[in-house]
Structure 1
Amino acid sequence: MKVTLVTVGKIKEKFYTDAIAEYAKRLSRYCKLEILQVADEKTPDKASEAEEQQIKEKEGKRILEQIKDGAFVIALAIDGKMLDSVELAEKINKLGIGGVSQLVFVIGGSLGLSEAVLNRADYRLSFSKMTFPHQLMRVILLEQIYRSYRIIHKEPYHK
């Protein structure tokens, strides 16, 4: 299966890039991983709701341009369904068995995802009701995808 992360903004801190590289290396045993970054929009201080909406729409358009037809899209959204690690592994496994060849995870920018991206998503996943920096979320997501593949292959992984 091909697993793609479509993310908004660049990673600036080396410790994040190192962690992402480590999980990408570990995942190479299980899937073909692709990480696509789209440009983020600068959000002015005290931006109006309309300005924030425009920013999300611009970022959303860039995200949607990266998603191929036929891909199964999982959007990370605060209002999504919360799964434990075993449930996420089961979801990924069922999608693969069901013939899904490309799984796309979408991580929005600091303002979240546009309605167009959320509407394109086949599934909304939430890691918590808390908000995380989107750079850190990439690491957390990759770790959970790696953990899922370890579970799917019945390999040990710390709990």
Structure 2
Amino acid sequence: MTIKLLAIGKTDSKPLQQLISEYENRLKHYVRFKLETIADIKNAKNLSEVQQKDKEGELILKKLGPTDILVLLDENGKHFSSIHFSKYLQKKMNSGIKQLVFVIGGPYGFSDAIYNKAHGKISLSKMTFSHQMVRLFVVEQVYRAFTILKNEPYHHG
């Protein structure tokens, strides 16, 4: 299985990017992982929230294959402990899916088209984080999940 993380906009912070890269490299030992960035919408300030979500939604849909399982990182999604998230990933791998795609939306969330296409929603916290930080948290939690599944000490380190 491949895990893909789609995110709107690039990471401006070099230290954050270095940490994200570190966890991406660690993940290579466990699973095929890809982080793909979708460019920010041009002239977004001239668009309504709905128009911006719709344009971002179109770009997200273009990045999906027909058999991809889409999971949204959404404030109204399901909450997991790290252990339960590792079990969730194990179930996805056991189900034989080829690609699991997590998506971090833009500043206003997702379009209706994306919500309709999604196979689920996960919330990292009731708090709001910058989209750049969420990338790090997702990559780190995917890595943590695999170390839990392999009974490696990272989770309790």
TM class by shorter chain equals: over 0.9
**Residue in structure 2 matched with residue 137 of structure 1 by the alignment:** 134
Q: Secondary structure at the match of 2:12?
A: coil
For the pair 1:122 / 2:96, whether they are aligned, the reply is no
**Residue in structure 1 matched with residue 39 of structure 2 by the alignment:** 39
* CA distance in structure 1 between the aligned counterparts of 2:102 and 2:10, rounded to whole angstroms: 16
Residue pairs, 1:74-93, within 5 angstroms:
74-93=71-90
Q: Write the deviation string for residues 64-120 of structure 1: whole angstroms up to 9, x where unpaired.
A: 110111111110011111011011100100110111121100001111111211211
**Residue in structure 2 matched with residue 102 of structure 1 by the alignment:** 99
Evaluate the alpha carbon distance shift between residue 67 and residue 143 of structure 1 in structure 2; reply closer, same or farther with a 3 A threshold: same
Q: Write the deviation string for residues 128-151 of structure 1: whole angstroms up to 9, x where unpaired.
A: 121111010000000000000001
TM-score by length of 1: 0.92
Residue pairs, 1:52-71, within 5 angstroms:
52-71=49-68
Q: How big is the shift at 1:23?
A: 0.4
Identical columns (%):
37
Runs of 4+ in 1 over 6 A off after TM superposition: none
Q: How big is the shift at 1:154?
A: 1.4
Contact preservation (8 Å) 1:39, 1:59: no
Q: Secondary structure at the match of 1:3?
A: strand
Aligned-pair Cα RMSD in Å: 1.4
Q: Secondary structure at the match of 1:157?
A: helix
Q: How big is the shift at 1:158?
A: 3.5
Count of equivalent residues:
155
* CA distance in structure 2 between the aligned counterparts of 1:126 and 1:56, rounded to whole angstroms: 19
**Residue in structure 2 matched with residue 10 of structure 1 by the alignment:** 10
The residue type equivalent to 1:52 in the other structure is: E
* CA distance in structure 2 between the aligned counterparts of 1:38 and 1:124, rounded to whole angstroms: 20
Contact preservation (8 Å) 1:3, 1:33: yes
Q: How big is the shift at 1:61?
A: 0.6
Structure 1: state its 5+ residue gaps.
Answer: none
* CA distance in structure 2 between the aligned counterparts of 1:97 and 1:51, rounded to whole angstroms: 41
The residue type equivalent to 2:135 in the other structure is: R
